[in-house]
């Protein structure tokens, strides 16, 4: 229950929610967290006392299922349910009931500027006011758990939270500019470890990957990351069910480095104590995917993780591949797509997904070849092999592409959603 005090807010420390994210049509917090309620807002904190969510609970809030979320990278993201519910709403476009509205340029089909809504922006002012009020609450008669919670929150002011996000990026050696789209299954909540830098391709259309030449990290570098991340995430590690091996092509790092890192992370981050199977996420390229041996996938399949491997295929049309500057040929893309289907049909604990580009400026040949490819996929399950459509950088943001997305979805035997580029 909530403990009410004279400052007109109530406290509830260390609530136990479901052990993992549950996909429902209303937001359900999972894991262990604490909360403070005022007449207009509910503020949710993680086990370290860091603010994570702000939810309006008054009549004026846009929608009872919408909220603000602060990421480990210190971005505030507004989750909207859109303007249409049910199977024709946001879930049909992104595979989730909520659209994360990001405070930085991304590639959604449509944009929602929550910064222009004064009701939502008032939530930040309310958070500042609550933080100030908590100073006075320190001297009140609180239960030990509530008193400890207040102390932890006061240790995590906005400046400290910013510094902690910078520490995260420093540990990794760079900011994670894009997470695999499959991390939506854990609400983008992953512990990241960079086992490589750079990219094999440097495609002309890409605006999120590093210009560095590809290189793997040393085992000592990875060990340092694991040790420092464990200290940074501290108590809140128990709320994470996802591991991301970065950065842009972890699959190219090779079997030994991949499996050694996963094994260490499983032990050090406490995944072995979880009651559910955690998820492993990584990117792969056409080349790294095609050269990966069956033995690697056999070993992935026996890991104590559900493994998601996301491959950037982009197009099966030669002229489109040339236009976007991707140095692969149409034959290689088709081979990678076929291998994706084969692996998904063969291994229960591996899910390989693919990305393709869309945009008004692309030719009809690109879309016809894509629909042909997806319509003839020899898949045994519609729950695997999700295809993510990534709008090119200069694509319109006012829903002009939605009919095109719907057309591709209708032709496909695989699930098709929009790729939401989210950083960490």
DSSP H or E stretch at residue 16: strand 10-16
pLDDT in tens, 67-112: 999 999 999 999 998 876 555 678 888 999 888 999 988 776 667 7
Tokens of 116: 């222009």
**Per-residue model confidence (pLDDT) at position 159:** 97
Q: Could you tell me which residues come within 8 angstroms of residue 237 by beta carbon, excluding any fewer than 6 positions away? A: 191, 230, 269, 270
Q: Please return the burial class of 383, using the count of CB atoms within 10 Å of its CB with bins 0-12, 13-18 and 19+.
A: exposed
pTM of the model: 0.95
Would you identify the CATH topology of the domain 173-418? Answer: TIM Barrel (3.20.20)
- Render pLDDT for 19-50 as a digit per residue (tens, 0 to 9): 777 777 766 788 999 999 999 999 999 999 99
CB atoms closer than 10 angstroms to residue 412: 20
* Average of per-residue pLDDT values in the chain: 91
32-37/41-45 β-pairing:
antiparallel
pLDDT attached to residue 3? 47
Where along the chain do its domains lie? 3-160, 173-418
CB–CB of 245/261 below 8 Å? Answer: yes
């Amino acid at each position: 229950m909530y403990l009410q005090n004279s400052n007109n807010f109530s406290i509830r420390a260390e609530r136990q929610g479901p052990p993992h994210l549950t996909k429902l049509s209303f937001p359900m917090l999972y894991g262990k967290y604490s909360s403070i309620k005022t007449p207009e807002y509910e503020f949710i904190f993680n086990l370290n006392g860091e603010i994570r969510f702000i939810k309006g609970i008054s009549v004026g809030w846009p929608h009872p299922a919408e909220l603000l979320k602060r990421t480990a990278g210190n971005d505030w993201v507004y989750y909207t349910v859109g303007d249409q519910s049910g199977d024709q709403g946001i879930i049909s476009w992104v595979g989730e009931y909520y659209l994360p509205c990001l405070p930085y340029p991304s590639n959604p089909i449509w944009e929602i500027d929550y910064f222009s809504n004064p009701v939502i922006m008032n939530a930040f002012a309310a958070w500042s006011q609550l933080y100030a009020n908590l100073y006075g609450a320190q001297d009140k008669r609180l239960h030990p758990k509530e008193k400890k919670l207040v102390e932890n929150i006061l240790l995590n002011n906005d400046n400290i939270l910013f510094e902690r996000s910078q520490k995260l990026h420093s540990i990794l050696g760079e900011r994670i500019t894009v997470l695999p789209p499959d991390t939506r299954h854990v609400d983008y909540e992953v512990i990241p470890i960079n086992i490589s830098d750079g990219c094999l391709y440097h495609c002309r259309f890409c605006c999120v990957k590093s210009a560095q030449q590809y290189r793997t990290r040393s085992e000592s570098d990875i060990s340092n990351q694991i040790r420092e991340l464990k200290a940074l995430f501290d108590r809140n590690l128990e709320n994470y069910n996802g591991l991301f091996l970065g950065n842009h092509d972890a699959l190219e790092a090779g079997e030994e480095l991949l499996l050694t890192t996963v094994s260490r992370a499983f032990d050090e981050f406490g995944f072995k104590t979880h009651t559910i199977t955690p998820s492993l996420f990584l990117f792969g390229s056409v080349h790294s995917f095609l050269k990966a041996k069956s033995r690697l996938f056999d070993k992935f399949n026996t890991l104590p993780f559900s493994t998601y491997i996301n491959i950037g295929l982009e197009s099966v049309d030669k002229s489109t591949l040339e236009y976007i500057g991707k140095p692969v040929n149409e034959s290689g893309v088709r081979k990678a797509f076929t291998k994706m289907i084969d692996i998904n049909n063969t291994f229960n604990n591996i899910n390989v997904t693919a990305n393709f580009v869309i945009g008004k400026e692309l030719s009809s040949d690109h879309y016809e070849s894509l629909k042909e490819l997806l319509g003839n996929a020899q898949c045994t399950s519609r729950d695997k092999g999700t295809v993510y459509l990534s709008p090119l950088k200069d694509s319109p943001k006012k829903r002009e592409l939605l009919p095109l997305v719907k057309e591709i979805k209708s032709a496909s035997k695989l699930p098709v959603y929009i790729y939401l580029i989210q950083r960490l």
